Amino acid sequence: MNATDFRTCPVTARRIHRPAETLVKANAVVAVVSLLIGAIAAVLLVLTRWQAVHLLPAEWFYRILGVHGMSMLIFFIIFYEMAVLIFASTALINARIAAPKLGWAAFALMLGGATLVEVIMWAGKADVLFTSYVPLKADPLYYLGIILFAVGALLVCGIFFANLVVARREQTYTGSLPLVVYGAVTAAIIAVITLLHGAAIYIPTFLWSLGLMHVDPQVYRMIWWGLGHSSQQINVAAMVAIWYMLGALTIGAVVLNEKISRSAFVLYILFISMASAHHLLVDPGMGSAWKIVNTSYFMYMAVLASMIHGFTVPAGMELGQRLRGVGTGMFGWLRKAPWGDPGFSSLVFSVVVFGFVGGITGVTIGTEQINIIVHNTLRVPGHFHATVVSGTAMAFMGATYYLIPLVFQRKVAFWGLAKIQPYLFAGGMFIFVMSMTFAGTFGVPRRHWDISFSQAPFDVAFNPAVDVLLAFVALGGIIAATGAFIFVAIAVKSVFFGEPIGTIVPGVAVAGLPQGITNPPVHAADVDRRNEEMHAPGQGFLGPAPGTMVLVFVFLAAFIVYFFVNWKVLSFVWKIG
């Protein structure tokens, strides 16, 4: 290691390790390519689910459905998360990467595995959908590709922990790990748990595909969801960490209480894997007691963690704005926020849709009794598109608008489009998710090529409203995909052909640079007085963050109404009342 291995960030003044930075770039680029593949597949799928268009034949519908799931939920998300882990364990604590050559070997394994899986899926040798439930059998190379990808990701997690050890030994930071890095630690721990589940089931399944052993379908389902559900919780931990980072970068958000936020991350580690049981609530092979304990007790502890972050993040944003003297009244801090900054708008949309739509629907369908009217309907993908896509992907996009200048040292291309891209993507996803959820309420099945059952010996008649809802599913999906394509175009143009950021003059706005970079948020000169006034006893029961408290009550009211309506619908099914 020598001095030339490092550069100093002109914005944050942090010491950046160049080999680590290059690895971050590589993982981020592949993540964007995976997003592009998944978005193309998404357009084909929504135009097929729209009964009036019905674009793809049955065989290709199920094939593209598998491509969409793996490209989006696994490759895009996890490649980006690997970039986050390397970035958090080096740039955010002024540290170096412990084993750069091993990092590239891990990247090669992940890239090779992902490429192998994509080739096999597009070739029609793995039409087993995302879950690949046994006894559905894919080509052995499909399972091998997943295993190679997982091994590479596991190596990156090991490098992440090694980076933290090296940083502590070399004293590149003082005190506790920053909260954003702590969130990344949570994501890495959950990733290790997740990947161990994957090894426990995919290695035997690979051998089964070769005819060397037997795999019990029920055991497969139980262990696979320890991988399938937990892999999405890596996203949640990484997403929340990015929430805190974007809040600080865009409007100078503060952390209300470090201990509470860190404790919420610990709850994710302890209980999130157990919550995977909610995918098996209608599985006849699992006992009711096991289902109830995992979903009605352990899952709620993980939900509590998300509710804590769902309060502390916007409350920290509100306090940050008030300490800067921005806005008055209940929601002045929100009205005067930098809505033209794509990093900020992405953050807000991520928090709102994840919490209000994904969170409320998730807790509801995770209830054993209610799940019986939800299982295998469009309400299920409606829920996880609200969490993983509207929540996680939106947060990752917002972070990218800051990583392009900070890591790639380029201005954000197509700046005018970048400002509206979060609105386009979030608006399209909201239409998509809500339409899909309501269509599922009418019993429309998920993962189904033709809900009219046109070639079946029986007829299934849905409410005419279903046709309208599926049209809106397609409309929202196309709008969201357009937002995704714009994001990909911005990222590619910025990274490979972008204009260097040049010299940044504080306070001078520059097209292509978010305002959090050109005009970093700072607290008002009389910040101590403002802080005392906000915490004075005369503030009333709403406290120093009254706007956030009102939003919390709105959230709770929406949750109560939605939960009650679902029980009412269930009573109709059971002929009660």
Percent of all residues in the chain with a pLDDT value above 90, rounded to a whole number: 69
Q: What is the mean pLDDT of the chain?
A: 91
Residue 165 has pLDDT above 60, yes or no: yes
- Per-residue pLDDT at 452: 81
Whether the per-residue pLDDT at 372 is higher than 90: the answer is no
- The set of residues, in sequence order, having a beta carbon less than 8 Å from that of 249 and lying 6+ positions away, is 343, 402, 514, 516, 517, 520
Q: In this predicted structure, what is the pLDDT of residue 481?
A: 96
| Residue 483: C-alpha distances to residues 163, 362, 402, 415 (Å) | 35, 25, 18, 14
The DSSP output letter for 454 is: T
- What values do phi and psi take at 8, rounded to 5? -105, 125
Q: What is the pLDDT of residue 367?
A: 84
- Does residue 143 contact residue 85 with C-beta atoms inside 8 Å? no
Dihedral-angle region of residue 171 (phi above 0 means left; psi in -120 to 50 means alpha; beta otherwise): left
Give yes or no for a contact between 347 and 316, defined as CB atoms under 8 angstroms apart. Answer: no
3-class DSSP assignment, residue 117: helix
Show the DSSP H helices in 123-178 as ranges. 140-169
Rounded to the nearest 10°, the torsion over CA 215, 66, 435, 233 is 60
Question: Dihedral sign, CA of 485, 491, 497, 503?
Answer: positive
Q: Which backbone phi and psi does 500 adopt, to 5 degrees?
A: -55, 150
pLDDT of residue 280: 85
User: Any idea which of 62-71, 362-371, 536-545 has the lowest mean pLDDT?
Assistant: 536-545
Q: Is the pLDDT score of 577 beyond 90? A: no
pLDDT at 297 over 70: no
Local confidence band at 576 (pLDDT 50, 70, 90 cut-offs): low
Could you report the per-residue pLDDT of 238-293, keeping only the tens digit for each? 999 999 999 999 999 999 899 999 999 999 988 877 777 778 888 888 888 888 87
Kindly indicate the confidence band of residue 3, based on its pLDDT and cuts at 50, 70 and 90.
low
Q: How do residues 434-486 score in pLDDT, each as one tens digit? A: 999 999 999 999 998 988 887 778 777 888 899 999 999 999 999 999 999 99
Q: Cβ(262)–Cβ(240) under 8 Å?
A: no
Element containing residue 16 per DSSP (H, E): strand 15-17
Distance CA 160, CA 103 (A): 10
Determine the length of the chain.
Answer: 577
Q: How far apart are CA 37 and CA 40, in angstroms?
A: 5
pTM exceeding the 0.85 threshold for the entire prediction: yes
Higher-pLDDT residue of 228 and 485 is 485
Q: Worst-scoring range by mean pLDDT, 45-49, 60-64, 174-178, 284-288?
A: 284-288
Q: Which residues of 281-290 are buried (b: 16+ CB within 10 A; e: fewer)?
A: beeeebeeee
Higher pLDDT, 492 or 328: 492
Q: Give 502-560 pLDDT, tens digit per residue.
A: 888 888 889 999 999 999 998 888 888 888 878 777 777 788 889 999 999 999 999 99
4 band by pLDDT with thresholds 50, 70 and 90: confident
- Place 329 in a pLDDT band, splitting at 50, 70 and 90: confident
